[in-house]
């Protein structure tokens, strides 16, 4: 059973379009992180959100943590081919230190 469900699992869109990736759970997390992974590399942290309702922006990327700290979203505006990669959400389980990951969203931006 996957603790964190990401959707969609695959997304292929044209350059310039907008997209949203979702990360959902029935569990409450102390914090939630988004990582990006390139082929042959380990994941690299993009952002951490810790407060329910928190919104963080990183250039064209907007991250939101749900009010109940059970879900999160990643929105990309005007996607670029350089955004292509595997996007992973990860939650720090409340009361523990275990960092658990979703199954990832493989994003392809076509020129």
Partner 1 sequence: GAGVSQSPSNKVTEKGKDVELRCDPISGHTALYWYRQSLGQGLEFLIYFQGNSAPDKSGLPSDRFSAERTGGSVSTLTIQRTQQEDSAVYLCASSLFPGRNTEAFFGQGTRLTVV
* Residue 7, token pair as written in the block: 């959707």
User: Does residue 24 interact with partner 1 by CB under 8 A?
Assistant: no
Please work out the total of residues on this chain that contact partner 1, with binding judged by CB under 8 A: 27
By CB under 8 A, which span of 14-22, 53-61, 71-79, 92-100 interacts with partner 1?
92-100
User: For residues 22-51, b (16+ Cβ closer than 10 Å) or e, as one string?
Assistant: bbbbeeebebbbbbbeeeeeebeebbebee
Distance between CA atoms of 70 and 13, rounded to whole angstroms? 27
User: Does residue 40 interact with partner 1 by CB under 8 A?
Assistant: yes
* Residue 106, token pair as written in the block: 């493989």
Please, what is the minimum distance in Å from the beta carbon of residue 107 to partner 1? 12
Binding site for partner 1 (CB under 8 A): 2, 6, 30-31, 33, 40-45, 48, 50, 86, 88, 90, 92, 96-104, 106
């Amino acid at each position: 059973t996957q603790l964190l469900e990401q959707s969609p699992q695959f997304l292929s869109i044209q350059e310039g379009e907008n997209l949203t990736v979702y990360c959902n759970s029935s569990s409450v997390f102390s914090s939630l992180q988004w990582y990006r992974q390139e082929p042959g590399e380990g994941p690299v942290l993009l952002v951490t959100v810790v407060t329910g309702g928190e919104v963080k922006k990183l250039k064209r990327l907007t991250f939101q943590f749900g009010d109940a700290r059970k879900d999160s979203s990643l929105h990309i505006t005007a996607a670029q081919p350089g955004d292509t990669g595997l996007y992973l959400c990860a939650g720090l389980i409340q009361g523990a230190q275990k960092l658990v990951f979703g199954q990832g969203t493989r994003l392809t931006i076509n020129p």
